[in-house]
Amino acid sequence: MDEVFNGSVTVVGLGYIGLPTAAALAIRGIDVTGVDVNPATVKAINDGRVPFVEPDLAAAVSGAVAMGRLIATDQMTPTDAYIIAVPTPFLDDKSPDLSYIRSAVESIAPMLAGGEVIVLESTSPPGTTRRVSEWLADLRPDLRMPHAADGPADVFIAHCPERVLPGRVMIEIVTNARVIGGVTRQCAQRAASIYRVFSQGELLLSDAASAEMAKLVENAYRDVNIAFANELSLISDELKLDVWEVIRLANHHPRVNILTPGPGVGGHCIAVDPWFIVSAAPSASRLIRTAREVNDGKPAHVAGQVVAKAARFVSPTIACLGLAFKANIDDLRESPAVEVVRSIAMALPDVTILAAEPYASDLPISLADLPNVRFARAEDALDEADIVALLVDHDQFRSLNRSLLNGKVVYDTRGIWR
């Protein structure tokens, strides 16, 4: 019989991954302490609220808090297990910044009494879980840390990368298969017992470095496929072809599945994780690097196309629809749409740009300094605009009355109005 964990858990980092994981454990009867450095996040959660938009998460968090199973705090507490879900951004040279993981480990170390399970969920370059074990060995020489050659250990360390899709987190956290890579086999087994509390997906036990790499590979695979689609859109622009029609036809082949071109790849995962592979093996990862460059170049291309269309007008107004990094979410960080708006506004300082985003109530800070960009409702922006650039495929934009586009120059980067 596979063991199911029934101790207490601390989740370090209450963001897009940590909070759903904390809630998923807590509503199934586990006592969970959520630790976060942001006092506003801690307060919101203890009030039963969620500080960002994610379907069904609010109900889970308020239920868990009301049941007394989930408590948020800025102080580390001793528990039977720790799940680290802090960010791993990259530095200016695109190498991974492990400082958040390091400080989580430093705050967990004094709590350990022996017997605890520590799971790293943060996306990490190969070797990070082993480094966690080495850091802990330095910080707690009185405890035996696990080593690849299975031997007795006082603490169990594993990597279980998150794989949920923003917008579908509460479904996928339950249904997705999980890769659980232990520093030793026993570490993987102990970590798996925690995920058995809420996961209905297959639990794939492996070693830590393979689990780390598998996660990076998943996102690099998607990035390369999107880059292929984005490159096809550049080629189609040059050849005066409709890229959507080309891809639609090609995808009818039983073994072809090209993803969708757009204004670029945003978010904190697909646009970041492939760089960890490039950084680990630079000369061997030419395709992965090029895919990143193709996708990173797309916002400038889109902005250039809009600027070229504006040259036909004396004093045009441009509506930019969507600022989020993808459809139907409120996350504007690392968004190619924001980059497009910024580039157009800077190239055309005398032109008014109306930016519409149904999931926001104002411009993000990254656009607020531009005097020629104004926040607007989509319908108002369309009413005033000469040129319409569709940047995000939000459902609200799909269902807009198409007659609002009559007489406008339309640039649909997501192909939803074809």
Contacts with ligand SAJ, residue ranges (CB under 6 A):
123, 162-166, 218-219, 222, 226, 259-260, 262, 265-267, 269-270, 325-326
Measure the CA angle with vertex 49, ends 272 and 116; round to 5°: 65
Active-site residue numbers? 215, 269
Q: Give the three-class secondary structure for 336.
A: helix
Task: Measure the CA–CA gap between 381 and 365, rounded to whole angstroms.
Answer: 20
Total length of the chain: 418
CB 273 to ligand SAJ: min, Å: 6
Which CB sits closer to ligand SAJ, 166 or 364?
Answer: 166
Task: Measure the CA–CA gap between 266 and 335, rounded to whole angstroms.
Answer: 5
Neighbours of 362 (CB within 10 A): 10
Which among 205, 214, 211, 149 has a CA at the least distance from the CA of 3? 205
User: 87-104 as b/e, with b when 16 or more CB fall inside 10 Å?
Assistant: bbebeeeeebebebbeeb
Q: Give the three-class secondary structure for 98.
A: coil
CB 243 to ligand SAJ: min, Å: 12
CB 222 to ligand SAJ: min, Å: 4
Which CB sits closer to ligand SAJ, 4 or 287?
Answer: 287
CB 213 to ligand SAJ: min, Å: 14
Which CB sits closer to ligand SAJ, 146 or 161?
Answer: 161
CB 162 to ligand SAJ: min, Å: 6
Which CB sits closer to ligand SAJ, 123 or 124?
Answer: 123
CB 56 to ligand SAJ: min, Å: 17
CB 13 to ligand SAJ: min, Å: 13
Residue position matching structure tokens 């506004």: 345
Which CB sits closer to ligand SAJ, 34 or 266?
Answer: 266
What is the radius of gyration, based on Cα positions, of the chain?
A: 23
Q: Residue number with the shortest CB distance to ligand SAJ?
A: 269
Task: Measure the CA–CA gap between 270 and 262, rounded to whole angstroms.
Answer: 14
- CA-to-CA separations, 272 to 176, 189, 278, 394, in angstroms, rounded: 22, 29, 10, 23
| Chain centre to alpha carbon of residue 40 | 21
Which CB sits closer to ligand SAJ, 154 or 218?
Answer: 218
User: 137-158 as b/e, with b when 16 or more CB fall inside 10 Å?
Assistant: bebbeebebbeeeeeebbbbbb
| Chain centre to alpha carbon of residue 415 | 23
Sign, CA dihedral 385-344-267-269, equals positive
Task: Measure the CA–CA gap between 13 and 44, rounded to whole angstroms.
Answer: 14
Which CB sits closer to ligand SAJ, 184 or 335?
Answer: 335
